[in-house]
Chain A
């Protein structure tokens, strides 16, 4: 139909009206579909410090990736589910994530939770990238579970060696916090083995489960009743601080060691002077001055107003591994296949090499640390 001036006016008016109406309704911006990753960390409970730090690391990695354009232009979105060390809540959380069809799940930070999550994730075919899940029991399975941390308990070895070799101590007591058995059981076995190999002697471990009623003083007394030459604290940093306080009150010069689990800032904050001289292992050199690490450390501090720590680095590196896999995933390839194809990744401080089961292949370094002056210092 040839448009006369009258027709033209009408069309213009109609369009203007339409535009007005549409504008008023606040049109929704349609971005491209985001890449969704699930996050299941212990943000409450005794392992909250691990969870929060790990989550911060994941957040930082994702925010940095989004600032660089996301995954091929698609933004990355994190869906948070807390596991609260409550199996039911955990179940519900992962179900929700599976239902939300996330590309992968980041976390958990404890092996105990991992034990619950791994079969669920494997059944759903969703990649589970673990955080500080150190248990040896999780290794060597062909499942959807991947991690970038060592499962061979190098801290057990390091502590055993240090206590035997450096301090020449043979009679060692161990106190175990039992809320994370998949981790603690193999650890003790390893420690026992390493100690025995060094001709040390591990006393029967003292078990407790942390609760609001935990009487650390009593525990300390029980430990000292074994008359150890040194005490190894296979507990969280909080428990380690509490125990150290009690032990050092009773025995101020008692040599203490803590598993990697305990080597956090919380230990220093809560322990204060009581943890001076405590020996532990850290998986990362937090004083690394290389530009890459410095940049991330600075960014972390600015973002979270707290110093970066090991769980955060683990979370950061683990997330970056997953992001890289997402970027380089080919069509008709699962994320797991991508990871197994790629195998080698770059972490903040060292390379990450995955084996066929999703565990770390190469021995990454660990750092023996001792608490001096309220800081973790290198052992000479």
Chain B
């Protein structure tokens, strides 16, 4: 598996977590929300309700207890007050009667353990005691209770007043007493507090509540809990709940417990009922509910976690299965069973996976097909290399070891393939020197130079030398690097032929010298014949010249006749006019109009006369010049344009008759020190040729004369026409004397010969011609501005040059002659 990541799959941007963890945590989060909500609901709503509920219960108990006690004491109060009223109204009761009454009360009363009635000084005079105590009556007799606070209060208020709790003189137990004023006397009833704990216990709802009774001084007088060791009359006045005493639940610490309770006042003896519960108990319900809720929520959370875990685990497992399949596919296994899943997306994933597998298979198949094709073509290539019968092909590596040895190599070197593969050539066919050369070749080939074809000489098996034409070049090797190909052809046969050829060559030299001798002899004979011919030619040239001159004179005369004729006519007209005038004058019939007419006519006539005569004069001077120039090969310095214009003027009349146009564009800075006559003749001849030959059977034509400086000291003069051109077969022969295509039609065939002779002879220039059929012809005359000194007279033709018909143009500037080197030396 490649370690490189394909570029289109991004690296993980941040840490990734297992699906199990993610899903499970999400589930947990979701599950926690209702848990939190319920918890909050309970805490913020239900718990306060339950608390107030518990407190209300306490308050109810306190109220019940207080009411009970109040009732208890109020009944006691009523009893005593009844008795007091009795004593108030029954003044005449004697002591014994009173005591009997009091005893009866003490016996029967639910409340009073002892009753005593004082005298007006506050000393006890009559007592009522339970039967078991009556023997101690004397103890109480005379006891002064006037200083007692509750007695004083009772008299001050004139109503019953309860005492603080105190130790009874009668029972030596804790007692609370009620004093009722009876006039100035006091009736006191002592109530034992001893049964109050029992009462408290009864009211404590099976000991769920702690009921404590506190006396007016906040001393503990009864406790439902019972265990009062050391706490009898313990003063609980420091407790906030006792100090408040008005029915609001308070938390306090007592007996090492954290309690919550409420204290209510008991009217009558001004006691307080303290109802309390351990906090844990009071709110125990809350705790239990909390526990239950927590348990249930915990269970729910656990179940949620379980479900979450299972779901995530199943999903993760499925996904892992997919991953495993994908990995298997990556490793080339396509036969995996499909993964079934109830999840739609996973089903789609499975389908896509299968499609992908199919696509991969197709592509693999296609690839195999193309691989097959590649292999086939490779096979063909190898077959090509292998089967070529003549070209020995070998492949080498850098070290010169044989990698390929084709069939032709086998037959060439007579070494089998299996013997050759892997070996270097010095083990097969080369000597060490040759091997070194070969390796050097390989190194050169490695630099991209294709070597060859070069000749390799080897020792053949039959002792004969073996000549191989070899090329060496490099090819890329698989996996980088280079391999080298050597292709060799056996050229031994050719070499043999070469050898024979050389031998033949040697013998040839002998024969050639023989022939040369014979040739030189015939050459001599030919030379004399040539001399004769040249003489004849010279005569012809002279006659041609005369003929040309004659035609020229004819032309001149013709030319002159027109203007002179015109002049004669004009002069005669003038004469007539003058005669008429003279007559008119003589006859005296001269009129102004006649005079004016005469003047006008005379002017016109004079104009005509002038013009024509001038023209005649021009012509004559031109002809003179031409003649002078013609007859005398006079050398002078002249402006080229001058000569050209002269020629143009000269030929003007004859050209006017033709539909052909002659145009000249001559650089007027061109000055020559040369033979204008010759030049003129050249121009005349060329132009005439054009007219005659180029434009034959044409009704239009254009001849252009151009001249311009070329190299320093030279100029080129071109005569170009757009006529019918010179055919390729005639072109080489146009300068030949008497060569003409219009044989029997007037041309003598010498025109161009003369031109050539003049150009190359006296003028010392060159003449070139370019022509194409139906396009035109251009003659280019290259002239030195200063003609060579006239040692070679113009009349002397270049005899040697004229001999060979196919005379090539004179050698111009040196031309690069690249000799084709024979590679196979």
Docked-complex contact A82 and B235, CB < 8 angstroms: no
Chain A residues 29-69 with CB under 8 Å of chain B are 39-41, 43-46, 48-49, 52, 55-56, 59, 63
Q: Which of A212, A270, A303 contacts B172, CB < 8 Å?
A: A212
Residue interface bits A243-257, CB-to-B below 8 A is 1, else 0: 001101100000000
Asked whether any CB of chain B lies closer than 8 Å to the CB of A272, the reply is: yes
A24/B232 contact (C-beta < 8 A), A16-B36, A272-B122, A272-B123 known = no
Cβ-defined contact, B230 with A43, below 8 A: yes
The answer to whether B230 and A272 have CB atoms under 8 Å apart is no
A307 nearest CB across to chain B (Å): 11
Interface residue tally for chain A (C-beta within 8 Å): 63
Q: What is the distance, in angstroms, from B88's C-beta to the closest C-beta of chain A? A: 23
Q: Within 8 Å CB of B228, what residues of A?
A: 82
Show 9 residue pairs from A and B whose CB-CB distance is below 8 angstroms, ordered by the A residue. Answer: A13-B29, A17-B35, A26-B287, A43-B231, A55-B235, A238-B169, A269-B148, A272-B123, A273-B147
B residues near A45, Cβ cutoff 8 Å:
172
Give chain A residues whose Cβ lies under 8 Å from the Cβ of B171: 212
B130: min CB distance to chain A, Å: 12
Q: Across the interface, name the chain B residue whose C-beta is closest to A45.
A: B172
Which of chain A's residues have a CB closer than 8 A to the CB of B283?
26
Q: Within the complex, what minimum Cβ distance (angstroms) separates B162 from chain A?
A: 14
- Measured between beta carbons, the chain A residues less than 8 angstroms from B136 are 212-215
The 8 Å CB contact of A59, one of B36, B169, B235, is B235
Q: Which residues of B contact A266 (CB under 8 A)?
A: 166-167
Residue of B nearest to A268 (CB): B147
CB distance from A199 to the nearest CB of B (A): 35
- Quick check: is B713 within 8 A (CB to CB) of the other chain? no
Instruction: Pick the most buried of B15, B216, B219: most chain A CB atoms within 10 A of its CB.
Output: B219
B142 contacts A by Cβ under 8 Å: yes
Residue of A nearest to B167 (CB): A48
Per-residue contact bits, chain B 142-171, to A (CB 8 Å; 1 contact, 0 not)? 111111110000000000000010110101
* Residue B294 lies at the interface, judged by CB distance under 8 Å to chain A: yes
**Quick check: is B43 within 8 A (CB to CB) of the other chain?**
yes
Chain B nearest CB, measured from A252 CB (Å): 11
- Distance in Å: Cβ of B393 to nearest Cβ of chain A: 68
Contact A217 B147 (CB under 8 A): no
B40 touches A20 (CB 8 A): yes
Cβ of A305 within 8 Å of any chain B Cβ, yes or no, is yes
B555 at the interface (CB under 8 A from A): no
Chain B residues packing against A (C-beta within 8 Å): 15, 25, 28-29, 32, 35-36, 39-40, 42-43, 47, 121-123, 133, 135-136, 138-139, 141-149, 164, 166-167, 169, 171-172, 174, 216-219, 228-235, 237-238, 256, 279-280, 283, 286-287, 290, 294
Closest B residue to A67 using CB positions: B238
Residue of A59, A213, A215, A272 with most partner-chain B CB within 10 A: A272
- The answer for the CA separation of A249 and B124 in the assembled complex, in Å, is 12
A10 neighbours in B (Cβ, 8 Å): 25, 28-29
Most buried by A among B25, B149, B167: B167
Residues on the A chain within 8 Å of B32, using CB: 13-14, 17
Q: How far is the CB of B684 from chain A (nearest CB, A)?
A: 112
Shortest beta-carbon distance, B282 to chain A, in Å? 10
Whether B139 contacts A217 by the Cβ 8 Å rule is yes
* Most A C-beta atoms less than 10 A away, residue of B15, B32, B40: B32
Are B235 and A56 within 8 A (Cβ)? yes
Contacts of B141 in A (CB 8 A): 217, 249
**Complex: how many Å from CA A248 to CA B169?**
18
Interface string of A7-27 (1 = CB under 8 A from B): 001100110110011011110
- Of B123, B230, B235, which is within 8 A of A39 by CB? B230
Whether A293 is near chain B, meaning CB under 8 Å from some CB there, is no
Interface-central residue, A40, A41, A63, A245, by most chain B CB under 10 Å: A245
Q: Is residue A81 within 8 Å, beta carbon to beta carbon, of the partner chain?
A: yes
A251 CB to closest chain B CB (Å) equals 12
Shortest Cβ gap from A208 to chain B (Å): 13
Contacts of A55 in B (CB 8 A): 234-235
Query: Could you say which residues of chain A place their CB within 8 Å of the CB of B142?
Result: 245-246, 248-249, 274
Contact B232 A82 (CB under 8 A): yes
A268 to B152, CA, bound (A): 14
Asked if A52 contacts B230 (CB within 8 A), the reply is no
Closest partner residue, chain A, to B26 (CB atom): A6
Q: A24 to B47, Cβ gap below 8 A? A: yes
Q: A6-B25, A238-B167 are in contact. Are A304 and B36 (CB under 8 A)?
A: no
In whole Å, how far is B270's beta carbon from the nearest beta carbon of chain A?
Answer: 10
A306 at the interface (CB under 8 A from B): yes
Asked if A328 is at the interface (CB within 8 A of a chain B CB), the reply is no
Could you tell me the distance in whole angstroms from the C-beta of B395 to the nearest C-beta in chain A? Answer: 61
What is the CB-to-nearest-CB distance from A98 to chain B, in angstroms, rounded to a whole number? 15
